Structure 1
Amino acid sequence: MSPTEGFSVTHRRYVPHSHAHYGGNLVDGAYGLGLFGDVATELLIRTDGDEGLFAGYSHVEFAAPILAGDVVEATATLVRVGTRSREIEFEVRVVCRSAPERGPSAADVLDPPVVATRARGTVVAPERD
């Protein structure tokens, strides 16, 4: 498959309690950035046949907290295709959140999901033969 603007990849993941670093079961912002690396890797494998390299972020916004017990969805969408560079927009959304006030394993589906983190970054694909 060749790189096409608008192509996207999405991963979902449960956020374990072992990732909570702060009071109130708050997870650090780097957790979302790690997810962005994962979805960017799959996006490049699918479009370029190689994992590529992450060059950097031009924008990062932490819009809402990610908490232990959340189910999050990370999406990478290809927005610009250069000769070797690929510009990607990223978003992490919280799609489920624990509800400990109702019981130790209670949780809710969030409709609509809560956008926790947004970013824009550039990855580099190797030269094609």
Structure 2
Amino acid sequence: MTNHDGTCVTHRRYISYDHAHYGGNLVDGAYALAMFGDVATDICIQTDGDEGLFASYSDVQFKAPIRAGDFVEATGVITRTGNRSRTIDFTLSIVCRANPERGDSAADVLEEPIVATTATGTVVVPA
């Protein structure tokens, strides 16, 4: 068994306005979880040559709102390698945010990313 602890993958994505579900252009928390699923798939391919299966989340924390017009980064880091399972810590951070007060297409790079969602999940890969 190869130890993959510390393996890290990051995906960056712009959140278009068609993802807004609520007032204030808020995006539902499932968006972050979908990104975590993509990151987990990428990690499994990188480490095990297989997409793997997402088995469970042991913790999910919604810490700040995600809005349409945000640019986000979803990062996953393997924190435990079992025979077939991998525990992954996830973070979704907002790195850019739309600024409609300056104009319809204005946006700002944030000095400090805003941590919007964190989670811990377990994936399973074939033996």
The TM-score with structure 2 as length reference comes to 0.98
1:43 aligns with 2:43: yes
Structure 1 segments of 4+ aligned residues over 4 angstroms from their partners: none
Structure 1 residues not aligned, in runs of 5+: none
Backbone CA RMSD of aligned residues: 0.7
1:105 aligns with 2:108: no
Q: How does 1:5-44 map onto structure 2 within 5 Å?
A: 5-44=5-44
* Whole-Å separation in 2 of the counterparts to 1:49 and 1:64: 34
3-state SS of the aligned residue for 2:34? helix
Structure 2 residues not aligned, in runs of 5+: none
* Whole-Å separation in 1 of the counterparts to 2:94 and 2:64: 9
1:52 aligns with 2:61: no
3-state SS of the aligned residue for 2:101? helix
Identical-residue share of aligned pairs (%): 64
Deviation at 1:4, TM superposition (A): 1.5
**8 Å Cα contact 1:55-1:122 kept in structure 2:** yes
* Whole-Å separation in 2 of the counterparts to 1:4 and 1:40: 13
Q: Report the counterpart of residue 116 of structure 1 in structure 2.
A: 116
**8 Å Cα contact 1:21-1:28 kept in structure 2:** yes
Deviation at 1:111, TM superposition (A): 1.5
* Whole-Å separation in 1 of the counterparts to 2:110 and 2:126: 39
* Whole-Å separation in 2 of the counterparts to 1:93 and 1:86: 22
3-state SS of the aligned residue for 2:31? helix
How many pairs align?
126
Cα offsets for 1:28-49 (capped at 9, x unmatched): 0000000000000000000000
Q: Report the counterpart of residue 84 of structure 1 in structure 2.
A: 84
Deviation at 1:3, TM superposition (A): 4.5
